[in-house]
């Protein structure tokens, strides 16, 4: 197994989200790898947890990565968050991302969970599965 491509995957996903015109219209620059200090905007996207497991074979080192992207809003309902979540999904599902190390074989939407949090926030967490090979 190789976890060495995790940083490259995270950077490519972050760049893809930041560079997406539809997301820019919906949330502006409020796309975060790490949440900034201070007050947060009323609607934003953030990268979340990641799990990886071995996908190596005789010929190559590789891994499956399940990565989470969350949409968070202060809005009373889920409508705005679901619109942003759809844009995130459109930007990432089957995206052809260039990595600084390794190669992305596939990137697919896996599941989502929408929930209310304490303090009136709404959160949609989407999990995407990436298959990576190390060159």
At residue 56, the pLDDT reads 75
Alpha carbon distance 72, 40 (integer Å): 10
Alpha carbon distance 118, 93 (integer Å): 30
- For domain 6-134, the question of CATH label 3.40.50.300 is answered with no
Alpha carbon distance 51, 65 (integer Å): 6
- The secondary element (H helix, E strand) that includes residue 19 is none
**From the DSSP assignment, how many helices (H) and strands (E) are in the chain?**
3, 5
At residue 61, the pLDDT reads 81
Query: Which ranges of the chain have pLDDT less than 70?
Result: 1-2, 58
CA-to-CA dists, residue 104 to 40, 71, 88, 133, angstroms: 32, 24, 18, 7
At residue 1, the pLDDT reads 59
Alpha carbon distance 10, 67 (integer Å): 9
């Amino acid at each position: 197994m190789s976890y060495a491509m995790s940083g490259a995957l995270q950077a490519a996903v972050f760049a893809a989200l930041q560079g997406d015109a539809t997301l820019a219209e919906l949330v502006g620059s409020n796309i975060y790898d790490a949440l900034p200090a201070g007050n947060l905007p009323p609607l934003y996207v953030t990268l979340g947890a990641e799990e990886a497991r071995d996908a190596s074979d005789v010929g190559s080192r590789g891994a499956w990565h399940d990565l989470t992207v969350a949409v968070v809003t202060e809005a009373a309902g889920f409508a705005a968050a679901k619109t942003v979540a759809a844009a995130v999904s459109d930007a990432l599902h089957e995206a052809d991302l260039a990595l600084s190390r390794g190669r992305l074989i596939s990137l697919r939407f896996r599941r989502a969970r929408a929930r209310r949090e304490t303090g009136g926030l709404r959160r949609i967490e989407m999990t995407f599965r990436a298959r990576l090979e190390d060159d």
